[in-house]
Amino acid sequence: MKTRFETTDVLESESGQAAPPGAEALHAIFETQADARPEAVAVVFGGEETTYASLESHANRLARHLRRRGVGRGSVVAMLLPRSVDAYAALLGILKAGAAYVPIDPEYPADRVAYILEDSGAGALVTTADLAGRYEAFGGVVVRVDADRDAIAVESPARLPRGEVGVGPRDLCYVIYTSGSTGRPKGVMIEHLNASHLVRAEGHIYAVR
């Protein structure tokens, strides 16, 4: 699958270099914050806010539901959701399940969305019932955050053991697609190592301690 994406030297997964000491998966940074400040507000969006504890529980339930549906380390999961608190929980849930996520803007033209779903090799799609209905040709696992809410809610809110998930700094974290203004959009792979470095470097913005 990696041959389907463009990479740059700095992001190259096949560098053969070991992760430096202290390197971690991106979602581990969030988990550290959730453990340290569970009742602090984690996300504010459109007048809605949620705490670290609530977001952590929601993401853990989704992660367990995804794993029950066959998603795990090495999986690629497309995320077709409008910006919302649910979108943050979905992103974290995908990572916690061991998979990499592919963010797709629901406002994209249908042919662009269909192209990214196919080109990314996504084996699962996290979306809404309405959006899922527009892409019935997708042949992978489909999780609808609204219609499947009850099924997700019965999952345990406990965090999956890291040893069970097995994700490390050199695993794929997400795939971001270019605008495609000069042709077909191209997917760029980002490892957990690079993503976590970015968050740490911008700690004054993200309030990472």
SS (H, E, C) the chain: CHHHCECCHHHCHHHCCCCCCCCCCHHHHHHHHHHHCCCCEEEEECCEEEEHHHHHHHHHHHHHHHHHCCCCCCCEEEEECCCCHHHHHHHHHHHHCCCEEEEECCCCCHHHHHHHHHHCCCCEEEECHHHHHHCCCCCCEEEECCCCHHHHHCCCCCCCCHHHHCCCCCCEEEEEECCCCCCCCCEEEEEHHHHHHHHHHCHHHHCCC
Asked if 196 and 25 touch (Cβ cutoff 8 Å), the reply is yes
- Going from N- to C-terminal start, the domains of the chain cover 2-6+24-206
The pLDDT assigned to 25 comes to 86
Asked if 188 and 6 touch (Cβ cutoff 8 Å), the reply is yes
pLDDT band at 17 (very low <50, low <70, confident <90, very high): low
Judge: domain 2-6+24-206, CATH 3.40.50.980: yes
For tokens 């029950």, what's the residue? Answer: 68
Residues 6+ apart with CB under 8 A from 190: 11, 172, 173, 174, 175, 176
Distance of CA 19 to the CA centre of its chain: 21
CA angle 176, 87, 169 (to 5 degrees): 50
How does pLDDT run across 101-157, given as a tens digit for each residue?
999 999 999 999 999 999 999 999 999 999 999 999 999 999 999 999 999 999 999
pLDDT band at 3 (very low <50, low <70, confident <90, very high): very low
When the pLDDT of each residue in the chain is averaged and rounded to a whole number, the result is: 86
The pLDDT assigned to 24 comes to 81
The pLDDT assigned to 9 comes to 33
